[in-house]
Amino acid sequence: MSDKIRVRYAPSPTGYPHVGNIRTALFNWLFARHHGGSFIVRIEDTDVARTVEGAVEAILDGLRWLGIDWDEGPEVGGKFGPYVQSQRLDKYKAAAKKLIEQGDAYYCYCTPERLDEMRNEQMKNKQPPGYDRRCRDLSVPESTLKWMSGMKRVVRFRTPLAGKTAFHDIIRGDVSFENSTIDDFVIIKSDGFPTYHLASIVDDHEMEITHVLRAEEWLSSTPRHLMLYKAMGYKPPEFAHLPMLLGTDRSKLSKRHGSVSIIEYKEQGYLPEAMLNFLSLLGWSLDGKTELMTVKEIIKNFTLGRVNSTGAIFNIEKLDWMNGVYIRDLKIDDFSQRVVPFLERDLPPDVKRPLSLDYIKKIAPLVQERVKKLNEIAELTEFFFIDNLEYDPNILVAKKTTLETTKVILETALKGLDELPEFSEESLETVLRPMAEALAVKTGQLFGTLRSATTGSEVAPPLFQTMAVLGKERCMKRIKEALAVLDKAKDKTAG
C-alpha cells in the first residue's frame, strides 16, 4: 500500500440516500483519509428508467451533512472527469468494441420475452437460471443480417466455460468461483448504456482506483469484474467487501424497516457527528471498548483489518443514546443554534416567527440533557412560546391533596411571588422551599402544583429555572388562570 490510495463512492441516483449506502461512503472516506489518499464520488446513472430527478443532489447533501468531503467528483471536478457515467458513454462503447474485436464479447439478439421464457423453463426444470448462449457463436454475417433487419441487440461477455476465478478479499480472505457458474452477462444494454459491470471496471481503471470498498452484495459479481479486467488488460484493484446493514429481521435494510434515508435522520434531529460515530461502529471497532470518538480519532484509527465480516443490524436505540450523549456535550450556544430550525419548524403556527435566539438560549439549557433528538424539543418547550395554556384540572391537584388545599397552595404562592423583589432561580427557591413547610405539604406537592400551573404539564424542566425564564408576569398570570380553572371545576362538582 505504498502507492497513493484512491477509492471511490459510486452511488446510483435511483432514490433517497440510503444509510447503508452512506455507510459504504463513510468507510471509503475514512480509509482514504486515514491513508492520506483520495476519495472520489462518481455518479452511476446507467439505468435510465430508474434514475430519479434530484437524487444526486440528495446524495451529495447527505455526504455534506456528515462532513464527508470528496476530492474529485461532481461539483469539484478533477482530472479524471467527467464523474457522471452518462457523460462517459463513449468510453464504455470503445471498451465493448475492443472486447468484441478480441472475441471476448459478442452481440446478442435474444428478446427479453425469449429470455423470460427460457428462465421460466429453467426454473421449472430446476435448472440454474442463466443465459443459454444462443447467440454466442453467431457468425459475423448472421449477426450483421439481424442487425440490418432492425433487430435490437445487447453485448454480452464471453465467459470462460471452465476454470476458476479466485481472488483475495481484504476482509473475507480467499474467495473462488467456478467459471461454469457464471453466465454470459450483458455489458452493453440495447439502449446503448453499459451495465454496472462494464462501466465500473472501465471507470475504476481510468480513474486509477486502487481499492474497491463496497457492500457484500457485490461479492458474487466480483469474478465477472475480474474477467473483464483480464480481458481488457487492466490491472484489477484490491477488493474489500463490507458487511451489510440489516433490518431488525436480519434482511437487507430497506424502507419497510423504517427510516432509511440519511436525510430523514437529519430531519429527526440526529446530530451529524453522532450519526457518523454510530455508523462507523457498524462493522468496525477500535478495541471493543472505545465507542465515543471524534471524526479525527476515527480517521486516525480506521483500518480495514478491524472491519468485521458479519452483517450488522441497524440498532436505532443505540443511535438514540449516542445522539443524547452528543447533544449533552454541545456548548450551550452551539446547542441553541442547532435547535432554532427545529423550533421554527415544529412549534405551533400561531407562535410568532422569527423566534428570538436570545430567548432560545435561556430555554435551551433546561432541555439539553432531556432530549435524545432535536425534534423532541418543540413539544417539551411549547409552553415557553404559547400565550394560553390549556389546563387539565386533574393535574393541578397534587397526589394526596385536595382541590381546596390546591387553591390555598396557589393563592399562597401568588402572594409570595408578588412580594418577590427579584425573580430568579435562587430567590424562587428561597421563598418556595419554606412555603411548603408553612403550608404543611410536601415540597413535591407544592412544586408539582406550581409546575402544572405554570407549564400546563406534569413533566417539565426544573421548576425554579423554568419559572425564572417565564418571568414574574407570566407565572402570576398562569397561576391565576389555574385558580380560575379550579373554581370552574369545583362549581361543576358542586352543581
Q: Is the dihedral of CA 434, 440, 446, 449 positive or negative?
A: negative
CA-CA distance, 482 to 476, in Å (whole number)? 10
- Closer to RNA by Cβ: residue 193 or 385: 193
Contacts of 472 (CB under 8 A, 6+ apart): 417, 420, 423
Cα distances (angstroms) measured from residue 399 to each of 38, 140, 463: 64, 92, 17
CB of 78 to RNA, least distance (A): 19
CB of 340 to RNA, least distance (A): 21
Neighbours of 230 (CB within 10 A): 14
Query: Which three cell numbers mark 81?
Result: 472527469
- Closer to RNA by Cβ: residue 93 or 490: 93
CB of 135 to RNA, least distance (A): 11
CB of 467 to RNA, least distance (A): 9
CB of 343 to RNA, least distance (A): 18
Q: Which of 255, 318, 400, 488 is catalytic?
A: 255
CB of 318 to RNA, least distance (A): 4
- Closer to RNA by Cβ: residue 325 or 483: 325
DSSP 8-state symbol, 40: E
Query: Which three cell numbers mark 200?
Result: 465500473
CA-CA distance, 417 to 397, in Å (whole number)? 20
Query: Which three cell numbers mark 350?
Result: 400561531
- Closer to RNA by Cβ: residue 328 or 488: 328
Contacts of 441 (CB under 8 A, 6+ apart): 398, 401, 405, 409
CA-CA distance, 78 to 40, in Å (whole number)? 9
CB of 30 to RNA, least distance (A): 14
Find cell 438514540 and name the residue.
320
Torsion of CA 50, 53, 58, 61, to 10 degrees: 130
CA-CA distance, 381 to 360, in Å (whole number)? 10
- Closer to RNA by Cβ: residue 414 or 490: 414
- Binning the chain into helix, strand and coil, the percentages to the nearest 5 are 55, 10, 35
Query: Which three cell numbers mark 469?
Result: 425564564
CA-CA distance, 289 to 306, in Å (whole number)? 13
E strand or H helix at 169, and its extent? Answer: strand 164-169
Is-contact 480 464, C-beta < 8 A? no
- Closer to RNA by Cβ: residue 3 or 155: 155
CB of 495 to RNA, least distance (A): 32
Contacts of 366 (CB under 8 A, 6+ apart): 381, 461, 462, 465, 466, 469
- Closer to RNA by Cβ: residue 138 or 490: 138
The question of whether 255 is a catalytic residue gets the answer yes
- Closer to RNA by Cβ: residue 101 or 287: 287
For the annotated catalytic residues, the residue numbers are 255
